[in-house]
């Protein structure tokens, strides 16, 4: 698989993961770009020990986690997309609300739920995050519950 | 509400790869620039000191020892600075999140240790080097001027040791400790069921 192929297939997925993590389109784009720079640099050494998808998502989620080093420079309140008061719910602001709700979760939960929504198998998510599959299953269940509750309030 | 369907609605155009490559180049250039500048600055200073040795032909062993210590201090600084640069630049992004966080934590602890130890050793070597170096020239002065020269030098050494050194260490420590706390927090999220 060439870099171009990986880039074309995975860019939208990685970008969504990053938007879910930081809830800021520009910041997310920077993060996705950094991810693919790493992918580009490391690709010649990629050994097929995991699937290419798992490998790319590991790099992307680790780049996200590292944002905590920068996050202090940008207070959370300064973030855009504060649409809680907007009504009535349409698809567009429902989507924005979903991304906003995810970005308010604890950091590692943001990664887990983004991967789940991306339709990644739970065994693979476990491999990316580095915890057991059973643990992932429980977590996904809890996160979805939390999100559903938020959506119930949102739709009212 | 189908979350998966909503999630996939985030439209995105795929930027051209040339944009990516340009960014990669900029990234590399910026971080390399500081490294190269520091290296050049300290190497030029060292070369200048060696030149003093050659040009003035000091007679006493203390002068030569002093010069050696000063150069050693600068080389040590460079060594650690370059090492820090390379270990910070090579975090393993390919590990799983929990492994990655663990490695990042170890790295930060190492960084803290290296920075503190390096700074202490650097100041000790530099101060000792300067005091030894001066001896030959001070010994040719009158007692009053000699005492004055050493007085000023020691004052400068004290200022560095008691003011600038702890300040730089504390600043670095605060920064790294904050990061260590944050990374530990993230790791705890993964440990908790």
Contact A129 B23 (CB under 8 A): no
What's this model's pTM, rounded to 2 decimal places?
0.80
B94 touches A at CB < 8 Å: yes
Per-residue pLDDT, averaged over A97-116, amounts to: 93
List the single residue in B17, B94, B193 with the smallest CB-CB distance to A58. Answer: B94
Q: Tell me, what's the pLDDT at A53? A: 93
Q: CB burial class (10 A; 0-12, 13-18, 19+) of residue B104?
A: buried
With a cut of 80, say whether residue A72 has pLDDT above it: no
Give the minimum alpha-carbon distance from B79 to chain A in angstroms, rounded to a whole number.
Answer: 25
A26-44 pLDDT, tens per residue?
Answer: 899 989 999 999 998 889 9
Lowest mean per-residue pLDDT among A52-56, A74-78, A138-142, B86-90: A74-78
Percentage of chain B lying above the pLDDT 70 cut: 98
Contact A127, A115 (CB under 8 A): no
User: Could you tell me the pLDDT band of residue A80, with boundaries at 50, 70 and 90?
Assistant: very low
Contact A79, A152 (CB under 8 A): no
Contact B62, B135 (CB under 8 A): yes
Q: Tell me, what's the pLDDT at B46? A: 86
With a cut of 70, say whether residue A12 has pLDDT above it: yes
Per-residue pLDDT, averaged over A107-134, amounts to: 95
Per-residue pLDDT, averaged over A132-137, amounts to: 95
User: Could you tell me the pLDDT band of residue A83, with boundaries at 50, 70 and 90?
Assistant: very low
Contact B179 A68 (CB under 8 A): yes
Task: Please spell the DSSP secondary structure of B47-69, one letter per residue.
Answer: HHHHHHHHHH---SHHHHHHHHH
User: Could you tell me the pLDDT band of residue A91, with boundaries at 50, 70 and 90?
Assistant: low
**Contacts A20 to B, Cβ<8 Å:** 7
B113-130 pLDDT, tens per residue?
Answer: 888 998 899 999 999 999
Report the residue of chain B nearest A143, measured CA to CA: B3
Contact B160, B127 (CB under 8 A): yes
Contacting residues for B69 by C-beta, under 8 A, at least 6 apart? B125, B126, B128, B129, B132
B54-98 pLDDT, tens per residue?
Answer: 888 888 999 999 999 999 998 998 888 888 877 777 778 899 999
Report the residue of chain B nearest A34, measured CA to CA: B24
ipTM of the complex in this document: 0.83
Report the residue of chain A nearest B10, measured CA to CA: A16
- Selected for mutation to probe chain B from A44, A65, A133 (highest B CB count within 10 Å) is A65
List the single residue in B3, B19, B189 with the smallest CB-CB distance to A98. Answer: B3
Contact A42 B98 (CB under 8 A): no
Highest mean pLDDT among A113-127, B28-42, B88-102: A113-127
User: Could you tell me the pLDDT band of residue A142, with boundaries at 50, 70 and 90?
Assistant: very high
B33-61 pLDDT, tens per residue?
Answer: 878 888 898 889 889 888 988 888 888 99
**Contacts A119 to B, Cβ<8 Å:** 4
DSSP character for B163? I
Q: Tell me, what's the pLDDT at B193? A: 55
Q: Tell me, what's the pLDDT at A90? A: 62
CA A51 – CA A54 distance, rounded (Å): 5
Q: How many beta-carbon pairs under 8 angstroms link A with B?
A: 117
């Amino acid at each position: 698989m060439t870099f171009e192929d990986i880039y074309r297939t995975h860019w939208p997925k990685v970008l969504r993961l990053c938007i879910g993590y930081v809830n800021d389109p520009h910041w997310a784009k920077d993060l996705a770009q950094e991810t693919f720079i790493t992918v580009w640099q490391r690709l010649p050494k990629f050994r097929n020990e995991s699937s290419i998808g798992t490998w790319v998502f590991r790099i992307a989620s680790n780049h996200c986690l590292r944002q905590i080093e920068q996050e202090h420079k940008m207070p959370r309140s300064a973030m855009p997309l504060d649409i809680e008061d907007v009504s009535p719910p349409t698809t567009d602001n429902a989507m924005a609300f979903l991304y906003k709700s995810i970005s308010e979760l604890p950091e590692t939960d943001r990664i887990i739920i983004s991967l789940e929504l991306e339709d990644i198998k739970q065994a693979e998510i476990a491999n990316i995050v580095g915890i057991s599959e059973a643990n992932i299953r429980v977590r996904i269940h809890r996160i979805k519950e939390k999100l559903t509750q938020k959506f119930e309030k949102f739709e009212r | 509400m189908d979350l998966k369907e909503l999630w996939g609605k985030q439209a995105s155009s795929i930027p051209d790869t040339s944009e990516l490559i340009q960014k990669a180049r900029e990234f590399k250039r910026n971080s390399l620039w500081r490294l190269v500048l520091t290296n050049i600055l300290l190497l030029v200073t060292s070369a200048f000191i060696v030149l003093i040795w050659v040009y003035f032909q000091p007679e006493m062993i203390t002068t030569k020892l002093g010069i050696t210590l000063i150069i050693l201090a600068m080389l040590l600084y460079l060594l650690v600075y370059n090492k820090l640069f390379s270990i910070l630049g090579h975090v393993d992004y390919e590990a799983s999140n929990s492994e990655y966080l663990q490695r990042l934590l170890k790295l930060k602890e190492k960084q803290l240790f290296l920075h503190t130890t390096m700074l202490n050793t650097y100041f000790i070597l530099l101060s000792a080097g300067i005091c030894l170096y001066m001896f030959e020239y001070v010994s040719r002065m009158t007692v009053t001027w000699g005492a004055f020269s050493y007085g000023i030098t020691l004052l400068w050494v004290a200022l560095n040791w008691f003011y600038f050194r702890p300040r730089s260490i504390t600043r670095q420590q605060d920064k790294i400790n904050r990061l260590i706390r944050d990374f530990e927090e993230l790791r705890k999220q993964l440990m908790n069921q």
